[in-house]
């Protein structure tokens, strides 16, 4: 006769095999055979949905591009874009660190020489719901997004995604992102640390995170931004003093004189520039009147979304400036709205009632809770022993290097390696300082989306971060 303990063991074994079998089937269903217009590649791709809230029908869309070699040995990196409300598929995957770039017509792809999946398995997440292909069956969710719910949903996503891809359980995990992901990344890291402490058998092996041009502290960021405008000759002395005297950046609310001074600077003194990259040409499509470009043009003046990218037309000639193309966001919107692309990526399976866009204006305008300062969270995560790097492209005027440095200075950290220039090849890639618990680096000549403007320098930064080594001095 079988003992009861043996019977329970057999039942448990059967259930475990069933769960693993189901997860394997889901992972196999998510495999991307080939994207339309894709060149040949030597790595696996997966994409699809993970349900994060059954009651309200919230589901997040992901795209995994595995490493080009020895993927089973390399870490997992979760990439998040900010906004809030902007797509990691549009920006991180298609303009910055992903393996592909989209051609001008949106008809095909070409390879990115400095893709980060040369060093790691990269998982792009469109978060929160309402961003890109991520959706909710409860329409009111779109007007109730905020920091806390975004972090909670992202944690649930990771837990359930790793059930679907168990080979990534216990794998070294790093989180990366930029801009408003200066909130998303450390907030999710804090959730993971708490989850691991509360779990009898934690399996999310978070090692650290890296964020670029990161929104960090409302007070210091705001003062540092205005300082950048003035020191880079974007505004007059008069406007600078007007903003400083009329704005109380430590207050969560603004005054009319403050708003008027900032509005005057943007509308009368900045000129027609790309605020996310002040020394490169802006996209001429922003002045076009066709319906295709209307939403692109409408958001260009006020920096509420990630980089404006494109091409500069001079007469009948088309100029590319060192490979930088200031209208790439438009190419992404052409490509990912193609039905055959969505089918290949297992996307838009519910038939969402709106076009795929790089950013969601609804989320940007209705964001509910936003943590005033991330500095206390940084202190908690440094105490938890995570590897933390912050980098800053130095030609971004939206979340500029001066803002980031001012925020970091108020952490009052001990310097381990004093300020020095770091190199890629024989050129200065930027400057860096290593503190106890945190590394800061600038990237010379890069705008808001650092890997798009300076891909080689960003790739060196990423390799050094993964290795846990200071940036090269020569």
Would you put residue 326 in left (φ > 0), alpha (ψ -120 to 50) or beta? alpha
Cβ partners under 8 Å of residue 23, min gap 6: 163, 164, 165, 166
Contact predicate 114/98, CB 8 Å: no
Q: Which of 30, 183, 448, 464 is an active site residue? A: 448
Q: Which of 179, 222, 277, 282 is an active site residue? A: 179
Give the integer Cα–Cα distance in Å for 474 and 469. Answer: 14
Give the integer Cα–Cα distance in Å for 290 and 303. Answer: 22
Q: Please confirm, yes or no, whether 260 is among the known catalytic residues.
A: no
Q: Count of alpha carbons within 13 Å of 171, Cβ hemisphere only?
A: 23
Structure tokens at 303: 């920096």
Contact predicate 391/405, CB 8 Å: no
Q: Which of 396, 397, 407, 464 is an active site residue? A: 396
Give the integer Cα–Cα distance in Å for 291 and 255. Answer: 35
Give the integer Cα–Cα distance in Å for 357 and 146. Answer: 19
- In terms of Cβ atoms closer than 10 Å to its own Cβ (0-12, 13-18, 19+), residue 412 is exposed
Structure tokens at 108: 């095909």
Contact predicate 204/195, CB 8 Å: yes
Give the integer Cα–Cα distance in Å for 364 and 85. Answer: 6
Measured in whole angstroms, the distance separating CA 43 from the mean position of its chain's CA atoms is: 22
Q: Please confirm, yes or no, whether 396 is among the known catalytic residues.
A: yes
Block residue for tokens 């001990």: 414
Q: Please confirm, yes or no, whether 241 is among the known catalytic residues.
A: no
Catalytic residues, which ones? 179, 396, 448
């Amino acid at each position: 006769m079988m003992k009861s303990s043996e019977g329970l063991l057999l039942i448990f074994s059967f259930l475990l095999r069933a769960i693993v079998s189901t997860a394997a089937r889901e992972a196999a269903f998510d495999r991307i055979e080939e994207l339309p217009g894709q060149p040949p590649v030597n790595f696996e791709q997966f994409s699809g949905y993970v349900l994060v809230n059954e009651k309200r029908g919230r589901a997040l869309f992901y795209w995994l591009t595995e490493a080009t070699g020895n993927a089973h040995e390399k870490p997992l990196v979760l990439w998040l874009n900010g906004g809030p409300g902007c797509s990691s598929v549009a920006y991180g995957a298609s303009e910055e660190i992903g393996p592909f770039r989209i051609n001008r017509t949106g008809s095909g792809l070409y390879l990115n020489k400095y893709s980060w999946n040369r060093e790691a398995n990269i998982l792009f997440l469109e978060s929160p719901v309402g961003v890109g292909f991520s959706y909710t069956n409860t329409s009111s969710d779109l007007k109730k997004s905020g920091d806390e719910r975004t972090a909670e949903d992202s944690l649930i996503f990771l837990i359930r995604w790793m059930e679907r891809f168990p080979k990534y359980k216990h794998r070294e995990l790093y989180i990366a992102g930029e801009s408003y992901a200066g909130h998303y990344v450390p907030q999710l890291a804090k959730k993971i640390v708490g989850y691991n402490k509360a779990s009898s058998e934690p399996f999310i092996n978070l090692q650290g995170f890296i964020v670029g041009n990161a929104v960090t502290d409302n007070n210091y960021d705001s003062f540092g931004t205005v300082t950048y405008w003035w020191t880079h000759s974007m505004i007059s002395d008069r406007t600078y003093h007007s903003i400083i005297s009329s704005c109380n950046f430590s207050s969560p609310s603004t005054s009319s004189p403050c708003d008027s001074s900032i509005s005057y600077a943007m509308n009368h003194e900045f000129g027609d520039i790309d605020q996310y990259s002040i020394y490169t040409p802006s996209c001429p499509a922003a002045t076009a009147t066709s319906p295709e470009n209307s939403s692109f043009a409408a958001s260009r003046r006020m920096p509420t979304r990630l980089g404006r990218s494109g091409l500069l037309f001079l007469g009948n000639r088309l100029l590319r400036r060192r490979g930088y193309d200031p209208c790439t966001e438009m190419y992404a919107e052409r490509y990912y709205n193609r039905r055959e692309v969505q089918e290949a990526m297992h996307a838009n399976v519910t038939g969402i009632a709106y076009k795929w866009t790089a950013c969601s204006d609804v989320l940007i305008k209705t964001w509910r809770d936003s943590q005033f300062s991330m500095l206390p969270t940084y202190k908690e995560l440094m105490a938890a022993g995570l590897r933390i790097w912050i980098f800053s492209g130095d030609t971004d005027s939206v979340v500029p290097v001066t803002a980031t440095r001012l925020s970091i200075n108020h952490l009052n950290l001990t310097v381990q390696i004093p300020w020095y220039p770091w190199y890629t090849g024989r050129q200065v890639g930027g400057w860096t300082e290593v503190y106890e618990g945190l590394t800061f680096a600038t990237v010379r000549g890069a705008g808001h989306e650092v890997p798009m403007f300076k891909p080689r320098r960003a790739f060196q930064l990423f390799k050094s971060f993964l290795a846990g080594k200071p940036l090269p001095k020569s």
